[in-house]
Structure 1
């Protein structure tokens, strides 16, 4: 078992290295064809005050006078030494910017991730146990509607309803405006986080609920469930003893593999609520031509999504003995 697990992890590491290299190369090629002038974006409103000589010095300082191949080699060399470079927007190391903003985003994303997983799983179980009733039709209508709902539209709807009309939550930002950082309380941060987290969790419920419903319906139609019904087992006891484990594993796997949708949704939700997280930094880096920061965020997001898939595979292998005995391809 240990040798199989080590070989499995080793194969995943090789795949991760090849994935990061391919993503880095493709992202750098796409950025090199961007119409945004990074020097002009770096100078900003002071463009008229900067002389052509100063513009040349800025270009040389950031290595933008080199060819794209030389820039990629230079960036890749520094990356191998553990340095993601310096952000042109924030004038700080990229690693510090990503770490700071990710700490803001992780609380929101983890809250939304847990809520969408728990509520989606419960809704899927109820829909399957109440098949063809009004409860099942209501849950399916809810899921199908949300599956086609854009994240930014849901965020705007919640913003108008709960922040503008009802005034229950702050309109935007991650902390109250005009308040010193040492005076910001945890309650202030939670109040500003609720609406973005609600946006992500509401949209993320549909896939978990529909998948769990279909999987439980397949389980309930199996032979051993029919045998359990013949012995007199019904309702929640039948699900708890015979259906929970068979339904929970696919739901957990789907929940971990949904990291990519979670990160993509966070980008849109943070833009709607002006939440200072990693998603907002991604948009700023793309629109202002901050190549080091953009590439750093791309690598980090790829690592984040890959970690979710890896956790899902590990949970499957630890819980299901058949996968531990299977030969690694």
Structure 2
């Protein structure tokens, strides 16, 4: 409820409304026409009345009606949600897996070339704006080399069975996934390197080495589980940033998800759609945190013991 109240209040305080957008599309309108538009959409009602109407609609699973798309907001979101979930979870899993692998490898030789490369990559990936990275990847791999499609999620001219379309979607996903995961890959690789180096210096690791275990057994059977917990926790905390970053990435690559829908709705001041997207984004963050707790219990046996 707090999220709903905050979102609605911020949108209400923002200058302009849908009446201004409709007037612009008409080429202009006088005050009488603007007042009639606001009356038709209920925008002339007091703030508390509009808030109560919105809250009541959300509680009855009605997010309102899109002024711009002329469709229920819930239907619009459910149409775009699968594309966003596919992109967000793929980018998060890719960044997490590759970041842990790079961090573990560099931690085994902290003064090696790979370790310095991970440090440089972390600084570059964290400082580069995600939309700038996306544009560079588009220029390099779509316009120059032409390995991957420029935009969209699928090629409508392709015909075939399930696997043909699956491969087509996978090709369209490569550049958006790399772009969205770049900043988080840098974070995870750096953190996993630091936690693995700390874990490798602990007493139980030295004991495992004294028993005659190989370096691979010590790293992957004993040290890795304890080193993973901080990285997974960070991944859960960063899930909201992944969702917000998807707005820019989807806009750059014209990916048909919630990010593109949000961008279009902001341009035309489609308030019900914007509020619905913010509400679903908050739900996605909550689900991401719950999944993080579940994965932590699977990875760390100490958490299972406490439960």
Normalized against structure 2, the TM-score is what? 0.90
Distance 2:159 2:44 in 1: 40
Change (3 A) 1:202 1:318: closer
The counterpart of 2:45, out of the listed 63, 66, 82, is: 66
Matched residue SS, 1:63 = coil
**Paired residue total:** 305
Change (3 A) 1:231 1:186: closer
Match of 1:4 in 2: none
Match of 1:38 in 2: 18
Distance 2:115 2:297 in 1: 32
Q: Which runs of 5+ in 2 are unaligned?
A: none
Distance 1:181 1:279 in 2: 27
Displacement of 1:274 in angstroms is 1.7
Mapped pair 1:78 → 2:52: no
Matched residue SS, 2:141 = helix
Q: Which runs of 5+ in 1 are unaligned?
A: 1-20
Q: Which moved more, 1:167-176 or 1:218-227?
A: 167-176
Question: Are the aligned partners of 2:200 and 2:223 in contact in 1 as well (CA < 8 Å)?
Answer: yes
RMSD, matched Cα: 2.5
Distance 2:167 2:92 in 1: 20
Question: Are the aligned partners of 2:226 and 2:300 in contact in 1 as well (CA < 8 Å)?
Answer: no
Mapped pair 1:245 → 2:193: no
Distance 2:148 2:242 in 1: 22
Mapped pair 1:151 → 2:130: yes
Distance 2:146 2:61 in 1: 46
Deviations 1:183-242 (A, max 9, x none): 994443333222111211222211111111111111111111112222333421211221
Q: Which moved more, 1:125-134 or 1:56-65?
A: 56-65
The counterpart of 2:206, out of the listed 213, 226, 242, is: 226
Question: Are the aligned partners of 1:42 and 1:88 in contact in 2 as well (CA < 8 Å)?
Answer: no
Change (3 A) 1:318 1:204: closer
Question: Are the aligned partners of 2:209 and 2:215 in contact in 1 as well (CA < 8 Å)?
Answer: no
Matched residue SS, 1:313 = helix
